[in-house]
Amino acid sequence: MFQIRIFLLIMTLNFNSVNSCSLSVPSSNKEINRLTQASIYYSSSNFEKSFLTARLVMHQAIKIKNDNLIVKCYQVIITNFEELSKFDKAIFFYNKGLSYGNIIDNGSIKYEINNNLGNICCFEKKEYKKDTSSFLKGIKLGKEGKEKFDLSSTHHEYSKYLFKNGNDKNAYKNLANYNKITIDLLNKKIDDKVEISGTNLEFDEYKREIKKIGIEKELQSQSIKKSKIIVLLFISVVSVLLLLIYTLIKNNNFKKKINTELSYANDKLILAKNKAEEASILKSQFVSTITHELRTPLYGVIGITNMLLDEHKELAESPHLKSLKFSARYLLSLVNDVLQINKIEENRVILENLTFNISDELNMIKNSLLFLAKNNHNTMILKIGSKIPENLIGDKLRLSQILINLIGNALKFTTNGEVLIEVNLLKITNKFHFIEFKIKDNGVGIAIEDQSKIFEKFVQVGRKADDYQGTGLGLTIVKSLLKLFGSAISIESTVGVGTEFNFTIAFESDTNKINEIIKNIQVDLSLNKLLKVLVVEDNKINQIVTEKILKKNNYTCTIVDDGFQALKVLEEEDFDIIFMDINMPLMNGFETSKRIRNLGIKTPIVALTAFDKEEIIEEAISAGINDIIVKPFDSNTLFKCIDNLGSKNLKKVLF
C-alpha cells in the first residue's frame, strides 16, 4: 500500500506538471522539482524532511497563486500524516485540498481526494456511516472523468465500505460495477494489445522489408567495395610491375655502365698488377743480389776474425777484436732485417730461443758502440740489476739489434753528454723474467709533435744537413721486433733536455732448459773416421776461411775454384762430403750438382751459399743437393751438419 501511494503520488505530480506551469513557468518548475524531492523523502521514510519541503513549496505556491501546486502540496503533506497515523490531520488537510480542487475544477484530483478521504474514514477511523458522501462524490467524479480505472477502484473501495455497514445489496451492486468496469478495461486493453500486435506485425513486416533492402544495399556496397579494392589492387600491381620493369631497366643500364667501368678499372688493375709483379720480381732480384754480395764478404770478415782468435790466443780478450766480430755479426743481422723488412711487416720473422748471458751481450753492445761515443765525446754508462739471472733464453740477436738501434740513435743525437743504459728485473711470472730496458740521454730531445712520427719508415726528424742520416728504418725495425716479443716501446722526451726510451721483454730462465739448449748446440766431432771433404768455392777469402775451419778439426780438404774442376777431381778421387758454392762463374752450383748426380756419384752435397734458403730450396732439391747452409755461418752449424750426415753413413737426404 505504501509503495502504491508513492507511485501514484509521483505520477500525479508529473501528470499535472503542465497545469502547474501555467502561471509562472520558471518558479513552478523549480517548486515542482522541490515537491518531487519531498515525495522522494517520503519514499525513503524521511517524513520530517518530506513534510518540511512540502510546506516550503506550498508557501511558495500560495505566494505565486498556483492552486494546482497547492493541491499537490496538500497531497504530499496528507500522505506523510497517513503514514504517521495522524488521520485527523490528514482528514483536515484532505478537506483543505478538496477546497482548492473545487477551485481548479480538476476532476481527477477531486476524485482522488474523495476516494482517499473515504478510505480513511471507513478503514482507518471506522466511521462507516459518516463518510458515504465522499465515496459518492468520488463515483460521480469518476463517471465524469476519462480514467475508468479510478472509477473501478472507487466502486471497489465503496463496496468494501458498504459490506462493513451491512448494506450488502448496494455493496454487491458496486462490486458488480467494479467487475464490469474492470472487465471493460481488460477488454479494451486486450483490443489495444491486439491492435498494437497487428501494428507490430505490420511494423515487423516493414522492418523485415527495410532489413532486406538494407542487406541488399550492404551486399551491393560490399560488392562495390570489393570491385574498388580489385581495381585498386590491379592498379597497384600494374604500378609495381611498371616500377619493377623501370628499376630492372635502370639497374641493367647501371650494371652495364658499372661493368664497363669495372672492366676498364680491371684492365688498369691488371696492368698495375703486372707492373707491381714486375717491380716485385726486380726488387726480389735486387734483394737477392744485394744479399749475396753483402753476405759473401761478411762471411770472410767473420771467418778471418775467428781465425785471428784461434791463431792468436793472446787476442782472445781483446775488446777491439770482440767488437769487430760482434759488429760483423750485427751488420749481417741488420742487412738481413733491412732487406727482409717485408717479412717483418708480414710477421714472418720467427724469434729463436737461444741461451745467452745478458751481461756479456750488453757489454759487447757497449764496446761495439764506443767508437760512436768517442766521435761525439759522449760517455756510456751501463747499469745491470743484480736480480737478473746470469743466463736467459731468448732471441739475443734481435735484442741486440733493438738495443744497438736505440743506443746508436742516442749517441748520434747527443754531443758532450751522457747515455745511460739501465736494465732491471721488474717481476717474475712462472719461469718468465720481465726485464725492463731504459736508454736515456741528455741530447737534443724530440718535439712532442714528432714523437709519433719517428717510428714510421724512412722518417728522420730534427736532422741538420751535416748529420749522419742513416736509413731511417732503425726505429721502425725496433717497433716491429718488439711487437714480435709481445712488447711495445714508450718514449719521454723534451727538446733541449733529452730522451728516454723504455720497453720490457719477458725472457725465460730455466736452468734445466738452458743446459738442454747448450747440450743441443754442442757438436760431437768424434766420427768413426776422418772425413775427406771437397770444397767447391770461387772466392779466395771464403776458401781460406772454410779450409781453416775444416782443417782445424783434422778433416782432409781439397779446394777447387769452379764446377768443371770439381767434376774432374771427382772422376779421379772419392770424397765423403762435398761443400758446394752456388754462385760461381763458368758453371753454377746447381748445374755442377746435377752433373755429379748424372755421373752416379752418391756423395752428400751441402750448398754453402749467401742466398736465402727459401729462395733456392726447390732448385736445390731438383739438383740433388742434400742440405743448405747460409753464409756466413757459425762453425758449430757446419760441424752439426757434417755430424748428421756422417751418423747416417753419409747417405741421408735432408729434404
pLDDT: which is higher, 277 or 513? 277
Structural domain contains residue 340: no
| 3-class SS of residue 292 | helix
Q: Which of 520, 548, 563 is where one domain is finished?
A: 520
Confidence band, pLDDT 50/70/90 cuts, at residue 526: very low
Q: Which of 490, 520, 550 is where one domain is finished?
A: 520
Average pLDDT, integer, range 523-545: 76
| 3-class SS of residue 422 | strand
Check whether residue 430 and residue 448 sit in a common domain. Answer: yes
Per-residue pLDDT tens over the stretch 172-214: 777 777 777 777 777 777 766 766 766 667 677 777 778 888 8
654 pLDDT more than 50? no
Check whether residue 574 and residue 460 sit in a common domain. Answer: no
For residue 594, how far is the Cα from the chain centroid? Answer: 63
Distance separating alpha carbons of residues 502 and 489, to the nearest angstrom = 6
Check whether residue 481 and residue 527 sit in a common domain. Answer: no
Please report the pLDDT score of residue 528 as a whole number: 44
CATH code for the domain in which residue 640 is found: 3.40.50.2300
Q: Which residue from 491, 524, 552, 502 is spatially nearest to 640, judged by alpha carbons?
A: 524
What is the CB neighbour count within 10 angstroms for residue 399? 24
Structural domain contains residue 230: no
Report the length, in residues, of the chain: 655
Structural domain contains residue 396: yes
Check whether residue 464 and residue 355 sit in a common domain. Answer: yes
69 pLDDT more than 60? yes
In DSSP terms, 559 is beta-bridged to 535
pLDDT: which is higher, 463 or 581? 581
Overall domain count for the chain: 3
**Domain enclosing residue 60, as ranges:** 1-105
Check whether residue 592 and residue 526 sit in a common domain. Answer: yes
Phi, psi (degrees; rounded to nearest 5) at 649? 60, 30
Check whether residue 541 and residue 514 sit in a common domain. Answer: no
For residue 392, how far is the Cα from the chain centroid? Answer: 45
Please report the pLDDT score of residue 18 as a whole number: 39
In angstroms, the Cα distances linking 501 to 367, 386, 445, 446 are 20, 21, 11, 11
Check whether residue 399 and residue 490 sit in a common domain. Answer: yes
Confidence band, pLDDT 50/70/90 cuts, at residue 338: low
Per-residue pLDDT tens over the stretch 273-327: 788 778 766 766 676 677 667 767 777 777 777 777 777 777 767 777 777 776 7
Query: Mean pLDDT for the chain?
Result: 77
> 604's torsion region: left (phi>0), alpha (psi -120 to 50) or beta?
beta
Please report the pLDDT score of residue 418 as a whole number: 95
What is the CB neighbour count within 10 angstroms for residue 187? 10
Check whether residue 410 and residue 516 sit in a common domain. Answer: yes
Structural domain contains residue 213: no
In eight-state DSSP terms, residue 313 is: G
What amino acid occupies position 411? L
Check whether residue 561 and residue 494 sit in a common domain. Answer: no
Average pLDDT, integer, range 53-66: 77
Structural domain contains residue 573: yes
589 pLDDT more than 70? yes
Per-residue pLDDT tens over the stretch 407-426: 988 998 899 999 999 999 99
What amino acid occupies position 268? K
Q: Say if strands 605-609 and 627-630 run parallel, antiparallel, or are unpaired.
A: parallel
Structural domain contains residue 185: no
Distance separating alpha carbons of residues 301 and 324, to the nearest angstrom = 9
Structural domain contains residue 514: yes
Q: Which of 487, 520, 553 is where one domain is finished?
A: 520
Please report the pLDDT score of residue 361 as a whole number: 92
CATH code for the domain in which residue 515 is found: 3.30.565.10
- 498's enclosing H/E stretch is strand 498-508
Confidence band, pLDDT 50/70/90 cuts, at residue 611: confident
Check whether residue 638 and residue 597 sit in a common domain. Answer: yes
Phi, psi (degrees; rounded to nearest 5) at 333? -65, -40
The answer to whether residues 564 and 586 touch, using CB atoms and an 8 Å cutoff, is yes
Average pLDDT, integer, range 414-440: 94
Average pLDDT, integer, range 201-229: 81
Please report the pLDDT score of residue 472 as a whole number: 63
Tell if the pTM clears 0.75, that is, is over it.
no
Please report the pLDDT score of residue 419 as a whole number: 95
Cβ partners under 8 Å of residue 248, min gap 6: none
Check whether residue 367 and residue 398 sit in a common domain. Answer: yes
Check whether residue 474 and residue 531 sit in a common domain. Answer: no
